[in-house]
Structure 1
Amino acid sequence: MTHGSQTGSVRECTLTEFSSAYFAWETTINDREHRINHEIRVPQVHLVLNDGESRGIVSTQEALRLARESGLDLVEIAPKAMPPVAKILDYNKFRYEQEKKARASAKSAKNPQLKEVRLSFGIGAHDIETKAKRAKEFLDEGHFIRVFITLRGRENVFPGKAKQTLETFRDATESAVEQPITQVGNKIQVILKPKK
C-alpha cells in the first residue's frame, strides 16, 4: 500500500514536471512569429539562401543540412506559400532587425513630424516621380509633408501651372490632403498626410 502510494507520488510529480516543461516549450514556440529549424514539419520548402539566392524547392531535411553547415538557422518566412518559403539566416539577428524596425515605425507613428519637399517651377515628370517616392516613405512612417514651389520673376504670372504641379505630386504620392493648396506671397504650397 505504502509502495503504491510512493509510486503514485512519483508519478504525479513526473506528470507535473512534464506539464511544466511542455507548457514552457509551447510558450516558446507561440511567442515566436516564425517556425525555425526542426519546428518546420512540412516535407519540402522553397529555399532561399542567406545571400538572397533562391535554391528552388528542396526537401526540408536538405534545407536543414545546408543551414547546419552554414552555422545558421532555417526560418519559415512565408508559411502560407505552397510549399512554404524558408530562408537560411541568423534568426537572432533577423529577429533583432525586425523588432528594431517595428520600434522605429511605432515611434514615428506616435511622433509625426512635418517634413518639407521643395519643387522647382519647371520640374519634370521623372523628378516628380523620384521626389514622390521619397515623400511616400515619410507618409508611410506617419509623417505630414509640406510641399511647396517658390515662384521667381515671371513665374509669378503662372500660379496655375504651379498648382497643377502640386496636384500631380499629390496624386503620385497617393496621399490625403491636410491643408489644401494655398498661396502665401510667392510661395504655393499644400500639406499632405497619410491616407487612413
Structure 2
Amino acid sequence: AKEEDLDPVLVRQDEEMLVVKLMDAGKTRHLMQKKKKEAAKKSETSVLKEVRLGLNIGQHDLDFKMKQAKEFLAKNNKVKLYIQLRGADFYRSQNKAAALLKEISTQVKEVGVPDEQTTMTGNVVSLFVSPMK
C-alpha cells in the first residue's frame, strides 16, 4: 500500500478473517461528497405558500389570488388558502367561509389537488392544495 501510495480500508471484519481493500481514501471521500451535492441539487423541495383571502372578497381580487395560487402550484409548491374570521364573523360566517373555499377548490383543480375538507383551527378556516405530479 505504501509503495503504490494507497490507503488500506477495512471492508468487512469477521471472527476468522479481515477483508481490506487498497484504495485512495481521500479521492473516494471527495467523490462521495460530490455525489451528495449533485443529489441535493437535483432534489426539489416543496415549500408551503399561503394565500390569505377575505370573507367578502370581490371577484377581481379572487381572480388575482387564484392566479397567484396557480403560479405557486406550477412551481411545485403546496398552497394553503385561508380565511381569518374576526369578531362576529367567527360565530356567523363559518359556513360561508367553508363554502367559499370549496368554490375556490374547484377553480384550482386543473393545476392542483385540494384536500377533501376545509379545516377550522381557532378562527382560521383553511384549505390545503398540493401540486399535481
TM-score bucket of the superposed structures, by smaller chain: 0.5 to 0.7
1:122 counterpart = 2:56: yes
1:165 counterpart = 2:86: no
Mapping 1:51-130, distance limit 5 Å: 110-130=44-64
TM (normalized to structure 1)?
0.43
Cα-Cα RMSD: 2.0
Could you tell me which amino acid in structure 2 is paired with residue 165 of structure 1?
A: L
1:109-154 Cα deviation digits (max 9, x unpaired): 7111000000011112221111101110110111001111011112
1:149-193 Cα deviation digits (max 9, x unpaired): 011112111101101111122222222124631101111001101
Could you tell me which amino acid in structure 2 is paired with residue 184 of structure 1?
A: T
Aligned-residue identity in percent: 33
Could you tell me which amino acid in structure 2 is paired with residue 134 of structure 1?
A: Q
Could you tell me which amino acid in structure 1 is paired with residue 94 of structure 2?
A: P
Residues 160 and 110 (structure 1 numbering): CA distance in 2 closer, same or farther, change over 3 Å? Answer: same
Could you tell me which amino acid in structure 1 is paired with residue 123 of structure 2?
A: N
Could you tell me which amino acid in structure 1 is paired with residue 124 of structure 2?
A: K
1:192 counterpart = 2:129: yes
SS of the aligned residue for 1:132 comes to helix
User: 2:48 and 2:116 mapped to 1: Cα distance?
Assistant: 12
Segments of structure 2 that go 5 or more residues without pairing to the other structure are: 1-40
SS of the aligned residue for 1:168 comes to helix
Structure number with the bigger relative contact order (C-alpha 8 A, sep ≥ 6) is: 2
More helix by share: 1
SS of the aligned residue for 1:110 comes to coil
4+ runs deviating over 6 angstroms: none
Task: Decide which of 111, 114, 118 is 1:177's aligned counterpart.
Answer: 114
1:41-82 Cα deviation digits (max 9, x unpaired): xxxxxxxxxxxxxxxxxxxxxxxxxxxxxxxxxxxxxxxxxx
User: 2:113 and 2:70 mapped to 1: Cα distance?
Assistant: 11
TM (normalized to structure 2)?
0.61
Could you tell me which amino acid in structure 2 is paired with residue 195 of structure 1?
A: M
More strand by share: 2
Aligned residues: 90
